[in-house]
Structure 1
Amino acid sequence: MSMKEPNSTLNVQELIAQKSNRGLLSFVEKLMPKLLLAIAIVSVLTTLGILATLVVETYIFFTRVPFWEFITGTEWYPFANSTPTFGVLPLVIGTLKITGIAVLVAVPLGIATAIYLSEYASHRARKVIKPILEVLAGVPTIVYGFFALTFVTPILRSISPEVSIFNAISPGIVVGIMIIPMIASLSEDAMNSVPNSMRDGAYALGSTKLEVAIKIVLPAAISGIVASTVLAISRAIGETMIVAVAAGSTPRFDGDLTGSIQTMTAYIVQVTTGDAGYGTTIYYSIYAVGFTLFIFTLIMNMLAQYISKRFREEY
Structure 2
Amino acid sequence: MTLIAFLILFVAVVIGYVLNLRAARALRAGGTTMHSLDGFHGGYAALSVLIPTFFLIVLWLLFQGTVIEMLLKGGLPSGQLDGLGTGEIQLIMAEIRSIAGGRIFGEPEQWKLDAAERLVSLRVTSGMLLVAVTAALAALLLSRARRRVSADFRARQGTEGMVHGLMVACATVAIFVTIGIVASLLFETIRFFNMVPFWDFVLGTSWEPQIPLREDQIAAEGAFGMLPVFLGTLVIATVAMVVATPIGLLSAIYLHEFASHRVRSVVKPVLEILAGVPTVVYGFFAILVIAPAIRSFGSDLGLPIAPNTALAAGSVMGIMLIPFISSFADDALGAVPRSLRDGSLAVGATSAETVLKVLFPAAIPGIVGGILLAVSRAIGETMIVVMAAGLIAKMTINPLDSVTTVTVQIVTLLIGDTAFDSPKTLAAFALGMVLFLMTLVINVAALRIVRKYREIYD
TM-score normalised by L of structure 2: 0.63
Instruction: Note the 1:71-90 alignment, pairs <5 A.
Output: 71-79=202-210, 81-90=219-228
- Partner residue of 1:138 out of 261, 264, 276: 276
Q: Kindly tell me: are residues 195 and 34 of structure 1, through their superposed partners in 2, closer, same or farther at Cα, counting changes over 3 Å?
A: same
Residue 35 (1) aligns with residue 35 (2): no
Residue 98 (1) aligns with residue 236 (2): yes
Residue 202 of structure 1 corresponds to which residue in structure 2?
344
Greater C-alpha Rg:
2
Partner amino acid, structure 1, of 2:280: I
Partner amino acid, structure 2, of 1:78: P
Matched residue pairs, number? 306
Instruction: Note the 1:152-163 alignment, pairs <5 A.
Output: 152-161=290-299, 162-163=304-305
Instruction: Note the 1:119-134 alignment, pairs <5 A.
Output: 119-134=257-272
Greater mean deviation of Cα atoms: 105-114 or 227-236: 227-236
Per-residue deviation at 1:305? 1.6
- Partner residue of 1:215 out of 332, 340, 357: 357
Greater mean deviation of Cα atoms: 10-19 or 185-194: 10-19
Q: RMSD value over aligned CA atoms?
A: 2.2
Contact 1:54 1:288 in 2 (8 A): yes
Greater mean deviation of Cα atoms: 268-277 or 146-155: 268-277
Match of 2:195, SS state, is coil
Residue 168 (1) aligns with residue 310 (2): yes
Residue 251 (1) aligns with residue 393 (2): yes
Contact 1:223 1:308 in 2 (8 A): yes
Residue 147 of structure 1 corresponds to which residue in structure 2?
285
Match of 1:16, SS state, is coil
Could you tell me how far apart the structure 1 residues matched to 2:321 and 2:309 are?
Answer: 19
Partner amino acid, structure 2, of 1:166: N
Could you tell me how far apart the structure 1 residues matched to 2:192 and 2:358 are?
Answer: 52
Residue 107 (1) aligns with residue 245 (2): yes
Contact 1:77 1:85 in 2 (8 A): yes
Partner amino acid, structure 1, of 2:409: Y
Residue 53 (1) aligns with residue 184 (2): yes
Contact 2:236 2:399 in 1 (8 A): no
Q: Kindly tell me: are residues 150 and 196 of structure 1, through their superposed partners in 2, closer, same or farther at Cα, counting changes over 3 Å?
A: same
Per-residue deviation at 1:243? 0.8
Residue 5 of structure 1 corresponds to which residue in structure 2?
none
Residue 65 (1) aligns with residue 207 (2): no
Per-residue deviation at 1:163? 2.3
Residue 24 of structure 1 corresponds to which residue in structure 2?
155
Could you tell me how far apart the structure 2 residues matched to 1:254 and 1:119 are?
Answer: 41
Instruction: Note the 1:227-306 alignment, pairs <5 A.
Output: 227-274=369-416, 278-306=420-448
Per-residue deviation at 1:154? 1.4
Q: Structure 2: state its 5+ residue gaps.
A: 1-26, 41-153, 212-218
Query: Identity, % of aligned pairs?
Result: 42
Per-residue deviation at 1:220? 2.0
Could you tell me how far apart the structure 2 residues matched to 1:61 and 1:39 are?
Answer: 33
Could you tell me how far apart the structure 2 residues matched to 1:117 and 1:32 are?
Answer: 41
1:267-310 Cα distance to aligned partner (Å, 9 max, x none): 11212224965422101011111111111111112222221112
TM-score normalised by L of structure 1: 0.90
1:116-169 Cα distance to aligned partner (Å, 9 max, x none): 122123333333233223321122222222221122111211211332221100
